[in-house]
Chains A and B, each alone.
Chain A
Amino acid sequence: MEMRNLEELFQQKIDQEVKIEPKDWMPDAYRKTNIRQISQHAHSEIVGMLPEGNWISRAPSLKRKAILIAKVQDEAGHGLYLYAAAETLGQSREQMINDLHSGKAKYSSIFNYPTLTWADMGAVGWLVDGAAIMNQVMLTRTSYGPYARAMVRICKEESFHQRQGFETLLVLSKGSEAQRALCQDAINRWWWPSLMMFGPRDSESTNSDMSMKWKIKRKTNDELRQQFVDMIAEQVKLLGMTLPDPNLRWNESRNHCDFGEINWDEFWQVVKGNGPCNKERLEARKKAWEDGAWVREAAQAHANKQRTRNKAA
């Protein structure tokens, strides 16, 4: 069959909402875009364990510690679901890990911000996971089958992440003056970086838009960001706290919240590696990998020994 026909058939399937599966023919760029996006997503889950891991040993109670461990463990699991989905496209795990460690592959910039206080665990769950969920819910309907299935599983588990974050802040918001200040401070620091998670504005690009045509994505950055602002602007009232944006107000005519301008300089600086924790995060990943080398070797040696023994028996 000619290439052109194959591409037409492929687009027909997409238009009819038929999922693309690993062995199906797909345009090279579709494969590459998915590999890039899914692996970036996986790396984000893995690096995303670090800011929270920071607080496991310092959680204020055994209950909070158990919750935080469960959440970080989920994130490891989410990373693994996603790596496995990317592998179905022909990318090896080895290559993905090496690309992360060499700095070639990217992960979400939000994890290059530090978690300074316990209240940050609440703000990360509520705002950062909340922003991620907007994207992830959309991705449960993405056109590549293994990616969509991984997202369904992830979304089921992610909901507890956001709820525990909000509840953490809720407890602080009902606490002492110092605890309330802690809560407001965390919201102030995480609000703008959370909005940046949605990426550049739609107007930043005039290029042809294959991700939408191929239904890898179904909503634009600005659509998702607006949805997020509308949701959080309501929820923050329940905490009795405020969002650090003087321009935030309900706009009757748009039926949406208006909000102020994001600091795009900061956005690009962090993307380019100049965020507060870029180097620290990658160093931590590489150290974990190096320190775990002997465990991987031992596991392989043990498996080989068992195999030899079983053959002999």
Chain B
Amino acid sequence: MLHFIKKLYYGDIPDASSGAAPLNDKQQPATDWPLWEVFIRSKQGLDHKHVGSLHATDAQMAIENARDVYTRRQEGVSIWVVESKYITASNPAEAGELYEPAADKVYRHPTFYDLPDEVKHM
């Protein structure tokens, strides 16, 4: 794998035996809790904004974890969480059909119209 990326950069640690002990019998494999997307309102009057994701067993734990992970420095006054599986995203491959129709409609923008300077603010 990655045979052609051999140059090592900072934080990129070479694949050599780390000398780690093998997993012992007590070692339980991790099992993931559901993934949640986190949205935070930074102050009253602003939208909730996507900040990242985390794992939690249920919605209440997701909010508590989001508080710890994403608002340690008063970044938020309100948190939304939604299980990631419920988010439907548009397909980047369909970006053309979805967004290009708006590209040739310059008349939708106020700057399209030449008005005399006397109009001032409009």
Interfacial residues, chain A to chain B (CB-CB below 8 A):
21, 23-25, 29, 32-33, 36-37, 40-41, 44, 70, 73-74, 77, 80-81, 84-85, 87-88, 92-94, 97-98, 101-103, 106-109, 134-135, 149-150, 153, 157, 197-200, 204-205, 207-211, 217, 220-221, 224, 268, 271-274, 278-279, 282-283, 286, 289-290, 293, 296, 299-300, 302-303, 306-307
* From B32, B52, B58, B92, contact of A23 by CB (8 A): B92
Whether, in the assembled complex, B9 has its beta carbon less than 8 Å from a beta carbon of chain A, the answer is: yes
Contact A102 B22 (CB under 8 A): yes
Contact partners of A198 in chain B: CB under 8 A: 10
Q: Which secondary structure dominates chain B's binding surface?
A: loop
28 contacts between A and B (CB under 8 A): A21-B92, A23-B91, A40-B12, A77-B69, A81-B52, A87-B53, A88-B53, A94-B29, A103-B20, A106-B13, A106-B15, A109-B13, A157-B73, A197-B10, A198-B10, A199-B9, A208-B4, A211-B5, A221-B9, A272-B16, A272-B17, A272-B18, A273-B20, A279-B20, A290-B26, A290-B27, A293-B28, A299-B61
Q: Are the C-beta atoms of B20 and A224 separated by less than 8 Å?
A: no
The number of inter-chain residue pairs (CB within 8 angstroms) is: 161
B25 CB to closest chain A CB, in angstroms?
A: 11
Q: Are A94 and B31 in contact (CB under 8 A)?
A: yes
What CA separation (Å) do A254 and B57 show in the bound complex? 57
A303: chain B residues within 8 A (beta carbon): 57-58, 61
Q: Are A103 and B18 in contact (CB under 8 A)?
A: yes
State the interface size on chain B (CB cutoff 8 A): 48
Indicate whether B82 reaches chain A with its CB closer than 8 angstroms: no
